[in-house]
Structure 1
Amino acid sequence: MRSRKQKAILAAKIIGVLFVLSIGTFFIFRNSILQKAVAKVSDKMERDYDSNFSIKKASFEGFSGVALENVLLVPKNADTLLNVESIKTNINFWRLLTGDVQLGTLHVKNGFVQLVKNEKGRNFDAFLKRKSNEDTTNVETNYAEKAYRLLNQALNLIPTDMNLENISLRMDDMGRKVKLDLKKLHLEDKELETTIGVTADNFKQNWKIKGFADPRNKKTDLRFFNVDTGKIRIPYVDERFNMKAGFDSIRLNVSNIEMDGGELHIDGFTSIANFTVNHPKIANKDVVIKKANFNYNLLFGEDFIAIDSTSSVTLNKMKFTPYVFYQKVKEDKNQIYALKVKIPKMKAQDFIVSLPEGLFSNFEGMEAEGNFSYNLEFLYNKNKPRELVFDSQLKKEDLKITKYGEANLNKLNSDFAYRAIINGVRQRQIEVGMSNPNYTPLDQISPYIRKAVLTSEDPSFFSHRGFINEAFKQSIIKNIKTKRFSRGASTISMQLIKNVFLTREKTLSRKLEEILLVYILENNRIASKERMLEVYFNIIEWGPNVYGIGEAAYFYFGKHPSQLNLNESLFLASIVPRPRGFMWQFDNQGKLKSFAEKRNEYMTNLMIRRGLLTQDDTLQKHFPVEITGPARSFLRIKAPDSTAVDSMAIDEEFDF
């Protein structure tokens, strides 16, 4: 009888023999197996993707090499998607036995990938659509595992040694064409180098990619720059999105990809030099970031994705630490968003010179003394939107503006000339000062119009420092719910800055400048609240070519601003947001429509509750709003009926 040891040895021998026989059988029939695999892929492409896939010749070379010739993928009734003359690769045989495909070498010669969109559709649509019977409603996603699996699959398909010759990527989007030509891409001993010829409709360039690439150890350090003179231009986006963008160089470094305790960590850094972008929604000129660097530490958990607070961003001389967090809570179908930004103590002047050129035109040339630090915290819980957290704190140390840029905020304290800009067109000049006969000092403006405008536009104007945190929170909540910018949180301070120093263009540049200028104006007490309100009343638009309360009181009622009653003031306050459409509040008899009357009644009650009006003030409510000034010609008043006029004349003639 055999001992246990002998039985184990015998079993091992049997397994070894079976393993060798399996390998031998595989090698004997491997070409047949390969042909069946190609046929299987071809059938799948036709069945699932309505595409024709063919390989003219497929064979094994050596122990684990595979050679393919004339590989073709053509979606039916569409342009060719893939055409390659020759592909030779080496597969890690031992990993293949475990079901893990890992390429060792790859040689591709003469071919192209082509993405086409025309009147017939897109030649890659079939590969983007989900299967109709695929139910993803109850699928639970583990972000860490999914990201790690996808990264591994992608990196395993990158060989350790690679040569690509005469390969191109072509794109044709309704006649907008871009072509990227790789004459030769070489990866050997973890060193990668290639030159890419770029041909677009309006330019040609040669790009260079060079650096370190180690797909097996999940590390890379690559630099991307232009071989020719000038910046790298990004093709297609300029014509497709009306955006011009370019840069001198980009560096991408990945130093660590590791799964630890159920969390995926991805660490590294990326930098860009002289990044330039131009788009009408960003600014009306080129925006330039000379130097930017992002040291990132990305985290993926079972139900969250985050940029860890150990990450840092350097923008010229400014450095800050970001924290970005998203969590999808499966139990209560909740989503949580968090953002934290911390700027440690830095010189104010370093901050000013670090601002991107072209994005803050009014700050160019500004000089400041002192230091500051800044912290921003944002937290949004989808199931508890009213508990939104928005906390913005700036700490100053002897912060002082010593020289203004283009926007000299001190001019608010003296007489100046003002010209509104509407749709890029400068309007007539308005003198803000006593040289203008229509200019009205604050103490000569009816208290009713002052209180009505403050109530409707900015109730806490005299107590806030440029921003209303609660209004800002409500604005964020509504914009998130509607998934669009449907509500702002503009204060009178912000409106004043926008009117006096900025244009009305709806760009990111203008909004950011508005926020910073308001902060400087309010927190450095450059102008008193009373002076700010006086200037505001004397420059804002109140109607077609009507500027300032002096012109408005005459235009609508033929009065001086000091003579405006409560109802007239409520009407004027109501048209501040849309002054050129005032006439739609009146019917064909020249009387306020019911919705406008109800709004005025609501505003009156609100002002009473806030102690701005007394019951005696409401005695004026029986006086209707009657447009008697030049504005009456804008109303669509129906002409009196002629028969009614004749009847009135007869009654007057025979008046008993």
Structure 2
Amino acid sequence: MRIPKINIPKKYLKIGAWVLGVFLIVGIALGAVAYSKREAILKKMVAKAIAKADKDYGLEVKIGSAGFTGLSTVKMTNISVVPKERDTLSNIGQLSVSVRLFPLLFGNVKLSEVTLNDGFVSVVLKDSTTNIDFLLKRKKKDSTETKGKSNLAEIANNILNQVLYKIPNDMDVKNMVFKFNDHDTAQLSFATTAVIDDGDLKSTIEVNNGESKWHIDGYVNPGSKKLSFTAYADGKKLELPYLNNKLHAKVSFDTLQTELKSAGYSSGDYKISGSWSVKNMLLNQPRIANNDIIIQSAKLEADVLVGENYIALDSTSTAYLRDASIHPYIKYTLGKNKIYELKLNAEEQDAQAVLNAFPQGLFESLEGLKVQGKIKYNLNFYLDTAIPDSVKFNSTLTPVDFKIIQWGKTNLQKINNSFVYTPYEYGKPMRDITIGPSNPNFTPLSAISNNFKNAVLTAEDPSFFTHNGFVEESIRKSIAVNFKEKKFKRGGSTISMQLVKNVYLSRQKTLARKAEEILIVWLIEHNHLVSKQRMLEVYFNIMELGQNIYGIGEASRYYFGKQPADLTIGDGLFLASIVPKPKAAMYKFMANGSLKPYMFNYFRFMGNIMARRGLTPSDTSGYGFYNVRLREGLRQYLAPDTAVIDTTAFDDDSDTPPVIMQDESKNLFDRIFGGRAKKDTASNKQIKSGDTTTKTRKQLRQERREQRRKEKELEELRKGNN
């Protein structure tokens, strides 16, 4: 096709040329004026910036010299930043910065080249202050001028753009040291050299004066919002000794990689796509596990969504552990009330691949376990903090032709036969107990009174014979109660879970142990490795029911001088009542061996439940409360009726092994996973005066000494009976 020729009259061409020439001349003239005035403009801007830093943030900024060295390059020397009444934050010997002119026309400062020589940034934590706390200050006018709600999507977009615009296309950093001083107890220093050459990044970081040498390589393309970084160390793992010294945690890895793939608006939300991966990561933290945990290969392909009032990890994200994968969805919504959402979806995949994907050292008792078949998993959690009782929770691990073909370190069927059980207290073994006919205190399930069995099942796990190891409704209620109480007050353990953590696992309160407990319960229940009857029989023969009293055989003879088959409904309800706090058992009795009056409400409440379920006849007199009598030989060791006992000093209400007593702790994390080991002070805390205004300190000390004497005689008597 032939394009027709367009004839433009010459006079219009001349007019156009004149107009273009005029604009060119004006532009050159304005440029010349601006060029001649640029030094003065720069000095004015520097002075304004220094004054603003002092007024708004309390920073004393000094610049030795500042001037242009090219069309758009500013060179500054001897720059120092010192917060008022704080340690020096930064000092830079020489800094040259070039900006792109085109973005500058639209008010955006985009760095094109940065050169920095000889400088440091030092963060100092001292007492309750730091030299960076000015960052937390908000100007009063900002709070008064801000109207309406903040849009998180806009904030995320602005922050990311500001960060990307500050990354130059070319950079040369030499001898830049980043220092961190934590109350003079832990210090870190990173001597850095870094080069960006047309987007390619090469960086070397010397840690703590040669302790190790790190490298960060990658590429940067801020214009297209793409970044990629890989971190590794020379000849060793990349690690921070500071974490071990300060936080009692050890973290190291061979390589760590992160990538920003894209960022931008999508259907009104701001979407950030990227990935994070790690190779041979080693983690050691006492509250997670008592040994090293090694994650050989992990990766997260993530899509992060930021909406007007929420931030979420979208379900299109995928987390990989070796050959296993799962799709997480996490959402946090802000507003008058906060909303937490969590969903996990693992599609059907090879069960052995999932087992192999678990980090080494996480599940010690399952190491070497071989399985076949497939599994899939789904979890759904939703909590609106305004209505915590409406919390939603369900978790399903579904087997598909699943079968165990080889045991690992622990044979999960070992309790089907006689075995030796060793209870622990404060991390120390108490004694070996044979769970089998060779032990005279062992009691078969058929020889245990239904009064005891029904009382314990009603109190501890009413649906034991129908559930598969877990009761979602119990877990859901526990979450609601613990959230409202702001502490770990209620657990959601079934008898299956209590049995597993006592027989198969250590007594350390760690995340790893809890996760292993859940997995073992699932393996036993879903594969019918142990019958429900045998599980209950073993549970009744190992449960702690007093100070160094284990199993119903010991307990029935110790408290009542009876065989387990002869326990009355009252005896059964009493023994069920002490399961959460077995060491407080003796303090429920009065000096004459009868139960203290406050126990009546428990008997009536539990008895009514049992009666409604047809487990015992209705009884308006308290379901055997008045017939419970402590064995006469033990009554001399009872505390005086006037003494008020702090039973909370004996045991922990939380979901922990019953042989472990509660230690004081500082926060929820300590309550769940346990703090440092503490000295056994139970004997010193057992008795508190009910009326400190009428008893002298000397009298209280005498009472405590007398009680300790009785306890010692009681223990000797128990040993003699055994």
TM-score by length of structure 1 reads 0.90
Given the alignment, which residue of 313, 325, 333 partners 1:327?
A: 333
Corresponding residue to 2:193 among 173, 179, 184 = 184
Distance 1:629 1:418 in 2: 30
**Residues 34 and 475 of structure 1: is their aligned pair in 2 closer, same or farther, counting only changes over 3 Å?**
same
Is the 2:470–2:494 contact (alpha carbons within 8 Å) kept by the matching residues of 1? yes
2:461 aligned partner: 458
Q: How far apart, in 2, do the equivalents of 1:625 and 1:56 lie?
A: 89
- CA distance 1:22–1:618, shift in 2 (3 Å): farther
1:422, 1:62 → 2: CA distance? 75
Provide the residue aligned with 1:308 in structure 2: 314
What whole-Å deviation, never above 9, does each CA across 1:285-324 have from its counterpart, x for those lacking one?
0011001111112222223322222221110121122222
Equivalent in 523, 532, 536 of residue 533 of structure 1: 536
SS of the residue 1:211 aligns to: strand
Secondary structure in 2 matching 1:395: strand
Partner of 1:604: 607
1:564 matched to 2:567: yes
Alignment partner of 2:37 out of 29, 33, 36: 29
Partner of 2:522: 519
Partner of 1:265: 271
State the Cα distance separating 1:496 from its structure 2 match. Answer: 0.3
CA 1:5–1:145: 2 relative to 1, 3 Å: farther
Find the aligned partners of 1:190 and 1:102 in 2 and give their Cα distance: 14
The alpha-carbon deviation at position 387 of structure 1 amounts to: 4.0
Alpha carbons 1:461, 1:491 under 8 Å: kept: yes
Note if 1:175 corresponds to 2:184: yes
CA separation in 1, counterparts of 2:615 and 2:17?
Answer: 100
Q: Which moved more, 1:214-223 or 1:43-52?
A: 43-52
Of 525, 547, 551, the match for 1:548: 551
More deviation in 109-118 or 602-611? 602-611
Letter in 1 for 2:203: T
Q: Work out the CA distance in 2 between the residues paired with 1:516 and 1:260.
A: 39
Match of 1:628 in 2: 631
Pick closer, same or farther for the CA change 1:633–1:347 going to 2, 3 Å: farther
- CA 265–624 in structure 1, closer or farther in 2 if over 3 Å, else same: same
CA 1:226–1:444: 2 relative to 1, 3 Å: same
Amino acid at match of 1:215: P
Give the equivalent residue in structure 1 for 2:244.
238
Separation in structure 2 between the aligned mates of residue 485 and residue 28 of structure 1, nearest angstrom? 70
Work out whether residues 546 and 585 of structure 2, in 8 Å CA contact, stay in contact via their aligned partners in 1.
yes
Partner of 1:236, secondary structure, is helix
* Corresponding position of 2:73: 65
Residue identity in the other structure for 1:207: W
Q: Provide the rounded CA distance (Å) in 2 between the counterparts of 1:518 and 1:628.
A: 38
Is 1:142 the equivalent of 2:151? yes
Residue 222 of structure 2, aligned match among 215, 239, 244? 215
Amino acid at match of 2:216: I
Describe the shift of the 1:233–1:37 C-alpha distance in structure 2 as closer, same or farther (beyond 3 A): same
Distance 1:10 1:477 in 2: 79
SS at match of 2:223: coil
Distance 2:398 2:147 in 1: 47
- What's the CA shift string for 1:520-561, capped at 9, x where partnerless? 111111111111111000001111111101111122222221
Q: Compute the displacement of 1:165 (Å).
A: 0.3
Q: CA separation in 2, counterparts of 1:369 and 1:15?
A: 79
Establish whether residue 437 from structure 1 lines up as the match of residue 445 from structure 2: no
1:504 and 1:279 mapped to 2: Cα distance? 16
| Per-residue CA distance 1:447-505 (angstroms, 9 max, x = gap) | 11111111111111111110001111112223344454332200000000011011221
**CA-CA distance at 1:22 after TM superposition:** 5.0
AA at the equivalent of 1:609: R
Distance 2:171 2:284 in 1: 37
Question: 2:712 aligns to what?
Answer: none
How far, CA to CA, are the matches of 1:58 and 1:482 in structure 2?
59
Q: Does structure 2 retain, via aligned residues, the 8 Å contact 1:164–1:182?
A: no
Structure-1 residue corresponding to 2:679: none
Give the conservation status (yes or no) of the 8 Å contact 1:55–1:70.
yes
Tell me which residue corresponds to 1:574: 577
The question of whether the paired residues in 2 share the 8 Å contact of 1:555 and 1:629 is answered with no
Gaps of 5+ in 2: 1-11, 643-722
Mapped partners of 2:152, 2:175: distance in 1? 38
Instruction: Determine whether 1:407 maps to 2:406.
Output: no
- How many Å apart are 1:375 and its aligned residue? 2.0
Alpha-carbon distance change, 458 to 31 in structure 1, aligned in 2, over 3 angstroms: same
Q: What amino acid is aligned across from residue 268 of structure 1 in structure 2?
A: G
Counterpart position of 1:347: 350
Q: Partner of 2:692 in structure 1? A: none
How many Å apart are 1:15 and its aligned residue?
A: 7.9
Tell me, in whole angstroms, the C-alpha distance in 2 between the residues paired with 1:371 and 1:186.
49
**What's the TM-score, normalizing by structure 2?**
0.82
1:291 equivalent among 290, 294, 297 = 297
Separation in 2 of the partners of 1:248 and 1:326? 32
Counterpart contact for 1:558–1:629, Cα < 8 Å: no
CA distance in 2, matches of 1:187, 1:152: 19
Partner AA of 1:60 in structure 2: F
- Partner amino acid, structure 2, of 1:637: P
Q: CA deviation at 1:619?
A: 7.6
Superposed, 1:101-140 pairs within 5 Å as 101-119=109-127, 121-131=129-139, 134-135=142-143, 139-140=148-149
User: Aligned in 2, Cα 1:631/1:157: closer, same or farther, shift over 3 Å?
Assistant: farther
Mapped to 2, the partners of 1:529 and 1:548 lie a distance apart of: 18
The worse-fitting range, judged by mean Cα deviation, of 523-532 and 565-574 is 565-574
Give the C-alpha shift of residue 582 in structure 1: 2.2
**Comparing both structures, which one devotes a greater share of its residues to strand?**
1
SS of 1:163's partner is: strand
Give the corresponding residue for 2:94: 86
Asked if structure 2 preserves the Cα contact closer than 8 Å seen for 1:590 and 1:636, the reply is no
Looking at structure 2, the residues matched to 6 and 468 of structure 1 have their Cα atoms a distance apart, in angstroms, of: 89
Deviation at 1:392, TM superposition (A): 2.2
Q: 2:364 is matched by which residue type in structure 1?
A: S
In 2, the alpha carbon distance for the partners of 1:554 and 1:181 equals 68
Residues 613-622 or 376-385, more deviating: 613-622
Separation in 2, partners of 1:620, 1:57? 91
Is the deviation greater in 245-254 or in 334-343?
A: 334-343
The 3-state SS of whatever aligns with 2:241 is: coil
Please, what is the CA RMSD of the aligned residues? Answer: 2.8
Structure 2 counterpart of 1:508:
511
The residue aligned with 1:492 is: 495
Determine if the alignment matches structure 1 residue 475 to structure 2 residue 475. Answer: no
Match of 1:449 among 449, 452, 462: 452
Aligned equivalent of 2:650: none
Contact map agreement 2:310 2:333 (CA 8 A) in 1: yes
| CA shift digits 1:56-99 (9 cap, x unpaired) | 11112211111111110112222110011111010122322322
Please tell me whether residue 53 in structure 1 is matched to residue 71 in structure 2. no
Query: Residue 585 and residue 35 in structure 1: after superposition, are their counterparts in 2 closer, same or farther (change >3 A)?
Result: farther
- Once residues 206 and 301 of structure 1 are traced to their aligned partners in structure 2, the CA distance between those partners, rounded to angstroms, is 40
For residues 583-594 of structure 1, the aligned pairs below 5 Å read 583-586=586-589, 591-594=594-597
- 2:618, 2:188 → 1: CA distance? 76
Count of residues paired in the alignment: 632
Give distance in 2, aligned partners of 1:624 and 1:22: 106
CA distance in 2, matches of 1:481, 1:521: 33
Shift of 1:515: 0.3
Q: Which runs of 5+ in 1 are unaligned?
A: 640-656
